[in-house]
Structures are given as structure tokens and as C-alpha cells.
Amino acid sequence: MQKSGGQDQGNPAGQIAARSRGRPRAFDRDAALEQATQLFWRKGYAATSISDLTEAMGIGSPSLYAAFGSKEELYAEALRHYAERYEFRVWGNFRAAATAREAIMVFLRDSTAALTGSCGSNGPLGCMVTLSAVGSEGHAELGERVRVARRVGLTRIEDRLSRAVSAGELAGKVDIPGLARFFVAVQSGMSILARDGATRAELEAVASNAMRAWPETAG
């Protein structure tokens, strides 16, 4: 439908791309994308209008369409931006943890901070990916992207738990996908609690309770 090309401004390593000719863009594309992301994050896809976006981004609609193509493409790029800019708050320490149990623990604990905005983030409450309902709103392609993003988290946990089985930290009979889905479900539930105004301390209690479900090592 759209001439998808665009200018591929998203260069891989933050480098300034080869200078194009013609009039230069008058706004900071990344800053505008950040504003759009937060708006989609807070209000969802359907309830966010182009007017809302252009006002928050401080640009006119032709500039928006020149830089991002369409509302759908902008949302897709906002999802990418969100993953790059915010997900490390939840997954950063997860990767570095020595044991799977600690990994899950910091995953849940860091989530309490990220979801309630207690980590210095200026973002809205809850997780943009978890709370997105764009797939149910009649935008199948975007919905699939969101589902994939959700599945990434599940797979990360599954992989970490599988490694724990190999390392003897978990018994081989443990249902790894089931356990992984449980922890993902807990974090998803925390997103909804956060959006309803739950405090970080309240989410900490949820996380502590969830950790009690950790399988007995039966040592």
C-alpha cells in the first residue's frame, strides 16, 4: 500500500547516516519517536489519533508521514523503540544472574520498579507490550508483532529454566514451559495491577509470593 522504503534512518550503531541532499529534517526523529511511543503506550493504538501524535511530537502530519509512513508503521517502530529503550530495565539483570532462581527473582523484582515507574523512568505505568490489545482491534499484522514480542519473554524464561535443568538446579521432571508461563503470567498480572495504581511495595509482595512457587530442589 505505501511505498515502504523511506530513508532507513535507523542506522545500526547510532552513527549519523551519509548526509542526504535537500532540506534537512527540522526535528529529532528519535525524540519524536519516543513521544509517540509513550502516547501509544499510555492510550493504546486505537485511542491515539494522528492529531494526538503530531501535537506530542511537535511536528505536522506531513512530516510524520514522511518520516514514518503511516500510523501502523509508526506503531511498529514504536514497539521496536520500546524494546530497545525500556526492556533492559526488566531483562538486564536477568541475563547476568548466576542461577535461574536468582534470574527469575530479579526479573520479577526489576519488573516491580519498571512497571510502577519507580526506576527513574518517565514512561507510563505497566508494560506496553503486555497491555497492548492492538491485535483484538482489527490490526492483525500489528497484533502478531505484539504476540511475538510477548512470546520473546516467555522463550527467554524457558531457555533459562532449561539451562537450570541441565545444570542440575532444577529436577528433570519439572514442566519447564508450564513454569515459564506461570512467571510470565505473574508479570503480566503485575502490569495490570500497576496500571490500576498498585504501588511498588504491593507488586513486591506479588513477586515474593510468586517465588514461593519455585520447585523444591528436593535435595
Burial of 176 (0-12, 13-18, 19+ CB in 10 A): middle
Is residue 190 involved in binding a second copy (CB under 8 A)?
yes
Residue 155 binding: pick among DNA, a second copy, none (C-beta 5-8 Å cut-off by kind): none
Is residue 112 involved in binding a second copy (CB under 8 A)?
no
Which own/partner contact pairs does 52-59 have at CB distance under 8 Å and 24+ positions apart? 57/27, 57/32, 58/27, 58/32, 59/26, 59/27, 59/32
Alpha-carbon distance of 73 to 38, in angstroms, equals 15
Task: Mark 25-64 with x for binding to DNA (rule: CB under 7 A) and - for no binding.
Answer: xxx--------------------xxxxx------xxxxx-
* Nearest-approach distance from CB 45 to DNA, in angstroms: 8
Residue 181 binding: pick among DNA, a second copy, none (C-beta 5-8 Å cut-off by kind): a second copy
Alpha-carbon distance of 33 to 41, in angstroms, equals 12
* Nearest-approach distance from CB 54 to DNA, in angstroms: 8
Q: Which of the stretches 55-63, 94-102, 134-142, 162-170 binds a second copy when contact is defined by CB under 8 A?
A: 134-142
The residue within the footprint of a second copy, chosen from 31, 47, 167, 171 (CB under 8 A), is 47
Q: Cell numbers at residue 166, please?
A: 541441565
Q: Looking only at Cα atoms, what is the longest distance across the chain?
A: 70
Q: Using CB under 7 A as the criterion, which residues of the chain lie in contact with DNA when the complex forms?
A: 1-2, 7, 19-27, 48-52, 59-63, 65-67, 70-72
